[in-house]
Amino acid sequence: MPHYEYFCKVCNKTFTLTLHIAEHDAENPACPHCGSHNIEQRWSTFSAVTSRKSA
Ligand SMILES: [Zn+2]
């Protein structure tokens, strides 16, 4: 399962979601803390082993 790390600009919190690729491409997920879509994706260091694509 791919992990996606996000940072919420509203809560100033980082959270990790596990999503299917299709789900991820469909739309921006919401922050689990406040429900805002005002988030930006971070590239999790946990997945650096499996995906070495240059971001
Ligand atoms: Zn939030």
Predicted pLDDT of residue 52: 58
Calpha distance 14→53 (Å, rounded): 22
Predicted pLDDT of residue 23: 56
From ligand 1's centre to the CA of 50, what distance in Å?
28
Residue 24, classed as helix, strand or coil, is helix
* 1-25: pLDDT as tens digits: 677 889 999 999 999 888 765 555 5
Is the pLDDT at 26 greater than 70, yes or no? no
Contacts of 1 (CB under 8 A, 6+ apart): 18
From ligand 1's centre to the CA of 39, what distance in Å?
8
From ligand 1's centre to the CA of 38, what distance in Å?
8
Contacts of 19 (CB under 8 A, 6+ apart): 2, 4, 29
Predicted pLDDT of residue 13: 95
* 27-52: pLDDT as tens digits: 678 899 999 999 998 875 555 555 55
Q: Is 45 left (phi over 0), alpha (psi -120 to 50) or beta?
A: alpha
From ligand 1's centre to the CA of 22, what distance in Å?
23
Domains of the chain by start residue, with CATH: 3-47 (2.20.28)
From ligand 1's centre to the CA of 20, what distance in Å?
21
